[in-house]
Amino acid sequence: MSLNDPILPGPGATDYERYLRTDELLALQKTAANWRHRDELLFQTIHQASELWLKLACEEIDTATSRIGADDVAGATRLLRRAVDAIEIVNLNTRQLTHIAPWDYHAVRASLGHGSGFDSPGFRKTHDLSPKLGAAFTALLARRGVTLVTLYRNSAEHDDVFQLAERLLDWDERLILWRGLHLKAVERIIGGHVIGTQGTPVEVLGKRIDVRYFPELWDVRNTLTGMANG
Ligand code: HEM
């Protein structure tokens, strides 16, 4: 038997295709015969790839939350770093939307029905998991008997928890940046004063950009600056 011969079970000509299920994966996009506009492939690729990276990010956030609960701070920090980098990729994906010309998008949009990002399973999961991550972090601080101000004034002394806190802030920040990128892409493509496929005015997206899951982590900076000035 040659090393090129497949040994894994399942459909696909090679073990690469069998393990990664590329036949099914690459059949998940509309074919040219069904496109209203050829940019549907770019549109579907951006969304499907984003959902995959969000799935990975949320899995890591979920496990990181459990690890914080088990006082495995280093293990949680490692997973959070990965989750944050996954959102960076979603952000890059989102920029790809600007390759779709505004008028061409209306042909794509005609295929979407009432489909809206509000129903993105990946983003919904970030809404669900982020508050739990914050609660686990707050409980960790209580177990360590340290306040946020003490942590941030003595970051070297509490380095493991400090690194974790900064990764939580990264997570919050990358999601805020995504909302900003998404809004600008939306304004470039359909405009800032129109209604979305689920009836939401684009202006509403602007008001939601700065949702913060960990406001205390942002606010402690104000406290430190006040202390430094005082
Ligand atoms: C041409 C591309 C896009 C347009 C014109 C667009 C437009 C919109 C609009 C108008 C809304 C408001 C809700 C509605 O009525 O539909 C919305 C919400 C949303 N979209 Fe998009 N979108 C685009 C691409 C994307 C992509 C690539 C993603 C993610 C992979 C995404 C994720 C979301 C999410 C998560 C929301 C809810 C935002 C929130 O909760 O604040 N959208 N989008």
Question: What is the mean pLDDT of the segment spanning 67-75?
Answer: 98
Give the mean pLDDT of 170-178.
98
Pocket test for ligand 1, best of 47, 94, 182, 189 (most atoms within 8 A of CB): 182
Q: What is the pLDDT of residues 21-59, one digit of tens each?
A: 999 999 999 999 999 999 999 999 999 999 999 999 999
pTM of the complete model: 0.96
Nearest CA to ligand 1 atom 32: 117
Domain 36-229, classified CATH 1.10.10.10, yes or no: no
Residue 199 CB less than 6 A away from ligand 1: yes
Contacts 24+ apart (CB under 8 A), 35-39: 36/107, 36/108, 36/110, 36/111, 37/104, 37/107, 37/108, 39/99, 39/100, 39/101, 39/104, 39/105, 39/107, 39/108
Distance CA 36, CA 109 (A): 9
Kindly report the protein residue whose alpha carbon is nearest to atom 30 of ligand 1. Answer: 47
Residue 154 binned pLDDT confidence (cut-offs 50, 70, 90):
very high
Delimit the domains of the chain by residue range. Answer: 36-229
Share of the chain above pLDDT 70, in %: 100
Question: How many A from CA of 162 to the centre of ligand 1?
Answer: 34
